[in-house]
Structure 1
Amino acid sequence: MSPYDLLIAPFAEFDFMKRALVGSFALAMGAAPVGVFLMLRRMSLTGDAMAHAILPGAAVGYLVAGLSLPAMTLGGLIAGVTVAVLAGLVARFTALKEDASLAAFYLLSLAVGVMLVSLRGSNVDLLHVLFGTVLALDDATLILLASIASLTLVAMAAIYRPLVLECMDPSFLRSVSSAGTPVHFIFLGLVVLNLVGGFHALGTLLAVGLMMLPAASARLWTQDISVILLISAAMGVVSGYAGLLVSYHLGLPTGPSVISAAGAIYVLSLIFGAEGGFARRFIPIRHLEA
């Protein structure tokens, strides 16, 4: 098999592969930078919890209008924002911490969402909701993914400085500015928005994969936040491309293949990463010598 047949032909010959590639790139460009700040804020598991929190809303949209993009998107957004607000209120007014309240809502949301889809849909519809259909993206979904990525990048550029400050020293930000709370809620909105976009391509179980794995991988190569953001997006793009090729040539499920490619990059980063990788830590590296 020639390099062209191996690496380019699937995207040149099949429109569904082109759409899947564009959708994966859009997801990576928007979700990976959001994942970087989730990681820096020690909220990595929050992303996973929020990914499942959108399921009941998407399921209600499905019950009302079937596999309708606007209905499921709106339902997922409402459910995600609702769970984020409720988790914050529970943490504020009860003895539970935010991670415990999110875990409770995450389990409840997953169970309720699966039951709602099962009321009307088949096992195929349930698999569509849980694992996505990245090879069946239509024009409307691609426009949605591209719009979410564009809005995310613009919004993060606008709140970049207070967002970085809140990650590094939230008490200092509170002492010099009142932007902390609005920035926090804007950021949570971007998290929900990208998870809703990822839901349409990768399903609720895998949507968080392109958000967190590239972010964790990039952190193992540098400590510079701006560079981490660029590397994470690049790794997300490579994961989408490699995962689609593996899925096409080996006949494997596409969504899991994309996330597995991101996982492979993470494992390589764990071993060879310049900032804390195993090889760097255990192999002596010569510094200045006389």
Structure 2
Amino acid sequence: MYDMLIGPFVEFEFMRRALVGAVALSLGGAPIGVFLMLRRMSLMGDAMAHAILPGAAVGFLVFGLQLIPMTVGGIVAGLAVVFAAGVVARFTALKEDASLAAFYLISLALGVIIVSMRGSNVDLMHVLFGTVLALDDPTLLLLAGITTVTLIALAVLWRPLVLDCVDPGFLRSVSRAGAPAHMVFLGLVVLNLVAGFHALGTLLAVGLMMLPAIAARFWGRDVTALCGIAILFGVVSGYAGLVLSYNMATPSGPSIVLMAGLVYAVSLVFGPRGGLVPTYWPARHREA
């Protein structure tokens, strides 16, 4: 049991780095996922994860697999798509979700083409699915920095963000902080997706952000509890996914997201806040 669950992290440095990266992504991304879920913007996270690909691909095209150019490119592309989708939604009859869907599909196709112009299939797989087992010191520092910025920003903007989820009309009537807080929040979404991109790739970056947050909905009620539970689920998913990847020789990134999916499935069935068994089994028992 030791060799299966603990030994890999004691023996191999790359496993420890991967675990630290997964913890950092969970600390910053899971609370963001909770707010996306509460705002009914869960699919927006997936759209924005694809939206960062062209910028990261341009950084790759010019500088290769270098951390800073791909990070800056991803941030610029993500913010540009958010801004463009907002402009389209404001000045046309198209809703914001539809405009985001259009932009993210275009971004995904464009990003894949740009990477293919210079890179090999290995590079394309790296961009799409990440390399969580190859995180180096600069990348870990970047993940830690983004997590730190995210937690500080959430602490400062906690009240307007929560009010915007619960009663946006009341927030608008008592404060003008709603719009600035929303813009900062969208920036945090982009930052955390860029962090996830470096570890899990553009296709899976949103997995460790949204799945723990959605699973937490079945275990908690207030926002603080939801964020804490989501972080715990993210850390557990990262650890379990790495253990699965090491022992079963499966791809590490998909294994982490698969474990997060398993946590969601268990929560869906057994979660005390709306899970299938607590909701329907007692009713059948009373009927009998």
**Normalised TM-score (structure 2):** 0.98
Matched, 1:48 2:46: yes
Counterpart amino acid of residue 162 in structure 2: V
1:179 matched to which residue of 2?
A: 177
Match among 127, 143, 146 for residue 145 of structure 1? 143
2:241 to 240, 243, 250: 243
- Separation (CA, whole Å) in 2 of partners of 1:208 and 1:185: 19
Q: Secondary structure at the match of 1:216?
A: helix
Match of residue 274 from structure 1: 272
* Contiguous gaps of at least 5 residues in structure 1: none
Q: Give the match's secondary structure for 2:128.
A: helix
What amino acid is aligned across from residue 165 of structure 1 in structure 2? Answer: L
Identity among equivalent pairs (%): 67
Alignment partner of 1:67 is 2:65: yes
1:285: how far off?
6.7
Separation in 2 of the partners of 1:262 and 1:131? 16
Q: Deviations over 1:94-134 (max 9, x none)?
A: 00000000000010000000000000000000000000000
Deviation at 1:203, TM superposition (A): 0.2
RMSD: 0.9
What pairs with 1:216-255 in structure 2 (closer than 5 Å)?
A: 216-255=214-253
SS at match of 1:270: helix
**SS of residue matched to 2:221:** coil
Distance 1:135 1:141 in 2: 12
Unaligned runs of 5+ in 2: none
**Deviation by residue 1:242-275 (Cα, 9 ceiling, x = unmatched):** 0000000000000000000000000000000011
1:196 is displaced (CA, Å) by 0.2
Residues in 2 aligned to 1:224 and 1:275: alpha-carbon distance in whole angstroms = 11
- The size of the alignment, in residue pairs, is 284
Residues 188-203 of structure 1 mapped to structure 2, 5 A cutoff: 188-203=186-201
Residue-by-residue CA offset, 1:113-167 (whole Å, 9 max, x unaligned): 0000000000000000000000000000000001111110110010000000001
Deviations 1:164-183 (A, max 9, x none): 00011111111110001100
C-alpha separation between the residues in 2 aligned to 1:150 and 1:194? 11
Shift of 1:79: 0.1
Q: Quote the residue 2:210 is aligned against.
A: 212
Supply the AA of the counterpart residue of 1:274. Answer: P
Moved over 2 A (4+): none
Q: d(CA) in 2 for partners of 1:193 and 1:268?
A: 30
> Do 2:220 and 2:229's aligned partners in 1 also have CA atoms closer than 8 Å?
no
Residue in structure 1 matching 2:122, options 121, 124, 130:
124
Distance 2:113 2:231 in 1: 35
Superposition pairs for residues 250-261 of structure 1, below 5 Å?
A: 250-261=248-259
How far 1:7 moved relative to its partner? Answer: 1.0
Q: Distance in 1 between matches of 2:3 and 2:242?
A: 14
Task: Specify the alignment match of 1:100 in structure 2.
Answer: 98
Residue from 5, 8, 19 that aligns with 1:7? 5
CA–CA distance in structure 2, aligned partners of residues 258 and 248 of structure 1: 11
Query: What residue is the counterpart of 1:78 in the other structure?
Result: 76
Task: Normalising by structure 1, report the TM-score.
Answer: 0.97
Aligned match of 1:167 in 165, 168, 181?
Answer: 165
Whole-angstrom distance in 1 between the partners of 2:56 and 2:121: 16
- Determine whether 1:114 maps to 2:112: yes
